[in-house]
Amino acid sequence: MPSSIQGLSTIRILSQYHANLWIGGILFALIVLAGVFAPWLAHTDPVMDADLMNSGLPPGHDFWFGTDDQGRDIYSRVLYGARVSLTVGIGSQLINTVIGVALGLSAGYWGGWWDDFINGLTNMMLAIPSLVFALAIMAILSPGLTSLLIALGLTNWSFTCRLSRASTLSVKSQGYVQAAKVLGYSDLRIMATQILPNILGPIVIIATLGMGGAVLAEAALSFLGLGIKPPFPSWGSMLSDAREQMMLAPWISIFPGLAIFATVLSLNLLGDGLRDILDPQSRTRRT
């Protein structure tokens, strides 16, 4: 007998109260708040308050997370770094979603040569590893926040596109869509008011999970030296700078690493939680 029918168990309780959603959501909200209120929560300026005399101090009373090589307070830099990671994560995913939905919805709705073209384009994008593509784009555009948004925003829309298209195809045949057509609504209006709201569920889930991926991608690009412009902090570049010092001054890399981990984890949990609510038929249902 499958144990799923045997009494209450941890995960049963957790899933009934949508633990994923709450834990992920609250954690993410906290991180966003930390980033937004960084100037008030931080102790120092993340760039200017650099006194080499304080270089490499371990966590202590004055510097909660210790200092880095340049004598800057890591606690403050982690807070400000949240701004970069969150901006890149949310921003690039927004761009991805807009592009993906626009292309996928229109491809599914209109079909024909436009559909074929989008399909081919999506196939091509799916075949190039997105990190590699982003690398190439960052090499052309000089490092910086806008370049990151462009690079990550342009390379990760294919999955959303596929999903939008598939959802559109199944919604297209529904009664209310046919009715709207008969009533003479314009294509654009139908797509925006009839189809879009009905395909948003899975798309929001993918977008949330994608944000986590974008944060990781920003970290990887910064690690390779192609991320945001120094000396402004980004969690990925902080990790890269601390590479040498892992043995001597582990706090320089532990805190940004934990920050990335916490952010991506919260986004993943949030995405899972949303999936539980919005798409109960989905295959990652708990029980």
Partner 1 sequence: MLQYLVRRIVQMIPILLAVALLIFVVFSVIPGTFASSVGADGRGMLDDKVIERMNEQFGLNDPVYVRFGQYVLDLMQLDLGDSFRTRRPVVEELASRALPTLRLIAGSMLFAIVIGLPLGFLAALKPGTLLDSVSMVTAVSGLSIPKFWLGLLMMFLFALTLGWLPSFGYGSGGLRHLILPSIALGVAPMALLARTTRAAVLDILNADFVRTARSKGMSEIRVVRWHLVRNALVIVLTTIGLQFGTVIGEAVVIEQLFSWPGIGSLMVDSVTLRDIPVVQGCILVIVLFFLVVNMLIDVLCAIIDPRIKYD
Partner 2 sequence: MINRFLMAATTALALSLTAGAHAQEPRDGGTIRYTAAYGPSFAGLDIHSTNRTQDAIWAMAVHRGLYGWDPVAKKPTLELAESVDVSDDGLVYTYKLRDDAYFHNGRKMTADDIIWTYTDIMDGSKAYPGARYIRLIKGAEDVESGKAKTISGLKKIDDHTLEITLTEPVEPGYYLNQMTTAIYPAKEAQEKGFASHPIGLGPFKFEEYVPGSRMAFSRFDKFYKKDLPHADKLVITPMGEASARNVAFRNQEIDASILGPVQYQTYSADPELSKNMVEVAEYYTRVMGFNPGYEPFADKRVRQAINYAINTDLIIKKLAKGKAYPAAGWLPPSSSAYDKSMKPYAYDPDKAKALLKEAGYGDGFEFEVIATSNESWGVPIIEAIVPMLAKVGIKVTIKPVEGSVLSESVRAGKFQAFMWSLETGPDPLAALKCFDSSTPQSACNYTKFDNAEFDKLLEQAGNEKDQTKRIETLQKANKIVYDEAPYWFYNCNKAVMAYQPWLHGLQANPVDLALQNYEDIWVDDSSPVAE
Task: Name 67's bridge partners.
Answer: 73
Contact (CB, 8 A) for 228 and 237: yes
How remote is the C-alpha of 155 from its chain's centroid?
Answer: 13
Shortest CB 230 distance to partner 1, Å: 18
Handedness of CA 31, 75, 83, 264 (dihedral sign): negative
Residue nearer to partner 1 on the CB measure, 225 or 231: 225
Report the distance separating Cα 110 and Cα 205, nearest Å. Answer: 25
Q: What are phi and psi of 282, to 5 degrees?
A: -70, 160
Amino acid in the structure at residue 245: Q
- Quick one: which of 82, 95, 171, 260 contacts partner 1 (CB under 8 A)? 260
The entry of partner 1, partner 2, none that residue 136 binds, CB within 5 to 8 Å by partner kind:
partner 1
With residue 219 as reference, give the H or E element that holds it: helix 196-223
Residue nearer to partner 2 on the CB measure, 135 or 166: 135
Residue 58 within binding range of partner 2, rule CB under 8 A: no
Residue 49 within binding range of partner 2, rule CB under 8 A: yes
Both ends of the chain: CA-CA distance in Å? 15
Residue 179 within binding range of partner 2, rule CB under 8 A: no
Binding site residues, partner 1, CB under 8 A: 2-5, 9-12, 14, 120, 123-124, 126-132, 135-137, 139-140, 212, 216, 219-220, 223-224, 236, 239, 243, 246-247, 253, 257, 260-261, 264-265, 268-269, 272, 283-287
Binding site residues, partner 2, CB under 8 A: 47-53, 55-56, 69-71, 139, 142-143, 225, 229-231, 241, 243-248
